Amino acid sequence: MSIRTCSLILMSALLAGCNMGPKSSYGFTLPDGDAAVGKDVFTAMSCNGCHSVAGMPELREGFDPELKVVLGGKTTRIKSYGELVTSIINPSHKLARGYKDEDVSIEGMSKMTNYNDVLTVSELIDLVAFLQAQYELELHPRTTYPPYTY
């Protein structure tokens, strides 16, 4: 076996090892949620006080919102439910991109309310179903290079 093949096998074994560690999300699957119920949970829990949802201005009508962190819309990478669930139950793990730190966090901690003792698991599942459906996958156009001639 060549050194190259050998190191490839070793690398994939290491990577697989990382994915399957005790803290890995391997095997984590949410049941299907009800997006319509999730939309109601979104307003009932005042998520709309800090978040607007792409294409749904009605969610912010009639009051003065505290913050404007947009959820949904075009992304280059689909938001997996793993990411969405984590953003809700552990907002500070990774702060939303495209904002000034001081607009979304205080001393590295997300300004987002902690809902862990408030949301039921069913509400979380429905919320994630609602939010996931608001993202629209838009892949980067591939760069095409002209033929190269001397």
Which positions touch ligand HEC (CB under 6 A)?
A: 45-47, 49-51, 66-67, 69, 71, 84, 87-88, 91, 95-96, 104, 110-113, 115, 127, 131
Residue among 17 and 82 whose Cβ is closer to ligand HEC = 82
User: Which CB, 60 or 111, lies closer to ligand HEC?
Assistant: 111
Compute the distance between CA of residue 82 and CA of residue 63 in angstroms, rounded to an integer.
31
Report how far residue 126's alpha carbon sits from residue 148's, in angstroms, rounded to the nearest whole number: 52
Cα 31 to Cα 123: distance, rounded to the nearest angstrom: 12
Choose between 88 and 129: whose C-beta lies nearer to ligand HEC.
88
Work out how close the CB of 49 gets to ligand HEC at its nearest, in angstroms, rounded to a whole number: 5
Of 35 and 113, which has the nearer Cβ to ligand HEC? 113
Min dist. Cβ of residue 34 to ligand HEC (A): 15
Q: b vs e for 36-60, b when ≥16 Cβ sit within 10 Å of the residue's Cβ?
A: ebbbebbeebebbebbbbeeeeeeb
Distance CA 81, CA 132 (A): 7
**At closest approach, how far in Å is the CB of 103 from ligand HEC?**
7
Whole-angstrom distance, CA of residue 6 vs CA of residue 92? 39
**Distance of closest approach, residue 78 Cβ to ligand HEC, in angstroms:** 13
